[in-house]
Amino acid sequence: MPTVTSIINLKGGVGKTTITLALAHFLTLEHHKRVLVIDLDPQTNATVCLIPEREWQRRDEAGLTLYQLFADAVKGTHRFDADAAIVRDVSNIAGGIKGLDLLPSSLRLIKVQDRVTQITDFETYERGPIFALRDALAEFLPYYDHILLDCPPSLGVVTLNGLAISDSYLVPVVPDILSVLGIPPILDRVEHFAQRTRRNIRALGIIISKMRAQTILHNEMERRLREDFVERRFPPVFRTVVPESTRIAEAANVLAPVNTLQQKYGNGGPMDELSALTQEFLWHVSR
Ligand SMILES: Nc1ncnc2c1ncn2[C@@H]1O[C@H](COP(=O)(O)OP(=O)(O)O)[C@@H](O)[C@H]1O
Ligand SMILES: [Mg+2]
């Protein structure tokens, strides 16, 4: 069975999508893993970084995105077809990477999430479509080595569907005061969900993201994060730090014609860090 990992934080803009995409690219191209990215965020950032926006739109209109899965839950229909919705061999590297697949999100998830929220019990999780994603993907997951779930900055029904198939999660944080304060509530909420649904969801680690090594604040917050781990209050902080880098931001462009990881992420740029991050991720999941 695959390793299923949610990339989660209640804050937006902390690098969740960027880290999900980097892991997906390095796992497939440097480690020859079969990877499925599931985009749970209605902002559809991961989706439009892996397939052109036009293709996403066509698929969304045809009911081939996660919108359809939750619309079914609301309407009692069974239209969602996971096999048809999964886009194979995505990314702009060399016209598509063999073994890198995507289950696209939809802007329309926002509306449908409001509807499913009304029929969900967030204390017991016994009422509401918490396991819709699990049931829809059951026969497809074993094909992959890794499933990466790019979560929205909330713990609504859609994110819970992701956690319901996850055996681990990663928390990207920008090393500043508000981001660090935001970590304990995430750990608590995931633990609450895991206990109530009798699952084990391992906090794989915290990833320091968008690090500006020349600032005192970022260095101070990195030191504090690592000390908090020593005191056992937080999950381990990854040794590898993702620097703030224009090359990383530019790599999001799926229309750029590139042929290699080096061309996408830049020679001498953040290639080494992202490669090290992926190796560290593999080390953590293997433990
Ligand atoms: N390491 C980085 N260096 C530079 N820009 C980054 C980096 N990580 C993320 N960004 C940029 O910051 C913004 C938010 O990142 P994103 O990954 O979308 O965060 P989230 O998914 O947590 O909302 C995006 O514009 C992205 O391009
Ligand atoms: Mg995002």
**Protein residue with least CA distance to atom 16, ligand 1:** 15
Q: In what order do the strands lie in the sheet with 146-150?
A: 100-103, 35-39, 146-150, 3-7, 168-173, 202-208
Q: Answer whether 188's CB lies under 8 Å from 205's CB.
A: no
Q: Answer whether 135's CB lies under 8 Å from 141's CB.
A: no
Written as one letter, the residue type at 221 is M
Expressed in angstroms and rounded, the spacing between residue 231 Cα and the centre of ligand 2 is: 30
Local confidence pLDDT in tens for the 287 residues of the chain: 899 999 999 999 999 999 999 999 999 999 999 999 999 999 999 999 999 999 999 999 999 999 999 999 999 999 999 999 999 999 999 999 999 999 999 999 999 988 888 888 888 888 889 999 999 999 999 999 999 999 999 999 999 999 999 999 999 999 999 988 899 999 999 999 999 999 999 999 999 999 999 999 999 999 999 998 777 778 999 999 999 999 999 999 999 999 999 999 986 679 999 999 999 999 999 98
Expressed in angstroms and rounded, the spacing between residue 146 Cα and the centre of ligand 1 is: 22
pLDDT of residue 127: 83
Q: Print burial letters for 2-24: b (CB count within 10 Å at least 16), e (below 16).
A: bbbbbbbbbbeebbbbbbbbbbb
**Protein residue with least CA distance to atom 25, ligand 1:** 249
Alpha-carbon distance of 9 to 155, in angstroms, equals 9
Q: Give the CATH number, domain containing residue 175.
A: 3.40.50.300
CB-based burial label for 99 (10 Å; 0-12, 13-18, 19+):
middle
* 266-269 long-range Cβ contacts below 8 angstroms, 24+ apart: 269/245
- Domain span at 9: 3-286
pTM above 0.95, yes or no: yes
Expressed in angstroms and rounded, the spacing between residue 143 Cα and the centre of ligand 2 is: 25
DSSP annotation of 263: H
pLDDT of residue 88: 98
Number of domains in the chain: 1
Name the phi and psi angles at 30, rounded to 5: -95, -20
Expressed in angstroms and rounded, the spacing between residue 13 Cα and the centre of ligand 1 is: 6
Q: Answer whether 168's CB lies under 8 Å from 202's CB.
A: yes
Tokens representing 122 are: 């967030």
Alpha-carbon distance of 221 to 207, in angstroms, equals 13
Q: Which of 25, 258, 14 is nearest to 153 (CA)?
A: 14
Expressed in angstroms and rounded, the spacing between residue 251 Cα and the centre of ligand 1 is: 10
Q: Which of 208, 204, 149, 215 is nearest to 179 (CA)?
A: 208
Q: Which residue among 7, 17, 18, 154 is best mutated to probe the pocket of ligand 1, counting the most ligand atoms within 8 A of its Cβ?
A: 18
Residue that the structure tokens 């926002």 belong to = 110
Q: Which chain residues have CB less than 5 Å from ligand 2, an ion?
A: 16-17, 45
Neighbours of 75 (CB within 10 A): 11
**Protein residue with least CA distance to atom 8, ligand 1:** 15
Written as one letter, the residue type at 231 is E
- Give the residues surrounding ligand 1 with Cβ less than 6 Å away: 12-18, 45, 209-210, 242, 244-245, 248-249, 252
Tell me if residue 183 falls in helix, strand or coil.
Answer: helix
